[in-house]
Amino acid sequence: MDYPNSCQTSEQFTQQMEGTQDDHKEGLQNRHEDKIIAFRSRVNQTMNNNDFLHLTRGDEDDFLLLFLRARRYNVEESFKLLCNYIEFRTRNASVCQNLSAWQLHHVIEDGFPCVLPYGNQNGAKMLVIFAGSWDTDTYGTEEILKAFILSMERLIENDDTQLNGIVIIADFSGWTATQASRLSLSFIRQVFAMFQDHYPARFVGFHFVNEPWYVKAGLTLLKPFIQEKMWKRIHVHGNNMTTLHDHCPQDILPAEFGGNKPAVNREYWARVLLDSEKTNGGHVYGENPFKWSLNQEIDEEEIPHVISA
């Protein structure tokens, strides 16, 4: 199988998407028009414009498709996910507003997170976290959470990401007791909330590598709060890359994980996000995230550009 070029530049990454997104989107909308209509009706029956103000990303159908795709076009489940998404952003407004890649680029370049410029064998987006690179003297968990939210907001704009999902690899090489002591229960709960029924994305795999013993113990304690479907997608590998390769073939893994791709370029994803801000004329993700309604027209110049899978 041929995989996308691992040396793809951030500019090529965006240009590739701009060339394919519109055609793909039109096909999806035509195929699932009845689902979009049913979903819109469900929203209108339950909420009014005063209660349901949020980012629609410029196109009502596109916005609704985000949630339909994440729940395999089940209207009721998509509606529940939409409610959870709004609830998450409302409860965490302080970290969801005014997100800027320029302000967070040092966090992203440390590996919180790195999004690879190619997908896995099934086309899923690959997101790598280098936990041991956390500079606790420079930034805290709030900045890390903001970087995750900014990255997720960027990723969920992409059709292929929505259709094929996201794979997460968390590498704990170099993780220290000092870093562990800086984690709080509220932070862990916020992160799990993002990945479990609060974002319009399908997380198809969570892989922990080079983790200390207490990561597995902590996951066991959290198991009662993790859905069975998600629990089955969590894999703890230790330093055994062979078991990781059972899920992620070496041909689509970077060298850090025994793969055949080059080592992760930690500046790459930060450049993608920074280039997007330049393209959007200073658009800031999360800026007043509830100011647009489903029925309000959006200035096309304010719509964030999309990326390629």
DSSP, residue by residue, 118-132: EE-TTS-EEEEEEGG
Query: By the 8 A CB rule, do 208 and 235 touch?
Result: yes
Nearest to 113 by CA among 95, 100, 126: 126
DSSP 97-164: SSB-HHHHHHHHHTTTTEEEEEE-TTS-EEEEEEGGG--TTT--HHHHHHHHHHHHHHHTT-HHHHHH
Collect the ranges in the chain with pLDDT lower than 70. 1-31, 48-58, 279-309
Q: What's the whole-number average pLDDT of the chain?
A: 80
Alpha-carbon distances of 75 from 54, 62, 106, 156, rounded to whole Å = 19, 15, 39, 18
Rounded Cα gap, residues 195 and 202, in angstroms: 8
218-251 pLDDT, tens per residue? Answer: 888 888 888 899 999 999 999 999 999 999 999 9
Distance CA 157, CA 284 (A): 15
Q: Which of 199, 120, 159, 202 is nearest to 306 (CA)?
A: 159
- For position 186, what pLDDT does the model report? 78
Q: Are 92 and 224 in contact (CB under 8 A)?
A: no
pTM of the model: 0.80
pLDDT of residue 55: 53
CATH 3.40.525.10 fits 101-271, yes or no: yes
Task: Return the pLDDT at 269.
Answer: 95
- Domain chopping of the chain, boundaries: 101-271
User: What local confidence, expressed as pLDDT, does residue 296 receive?
Assistant: 35
Q: What is the pLDDT of residue 159?
A: 83
Amino acid at 5: N
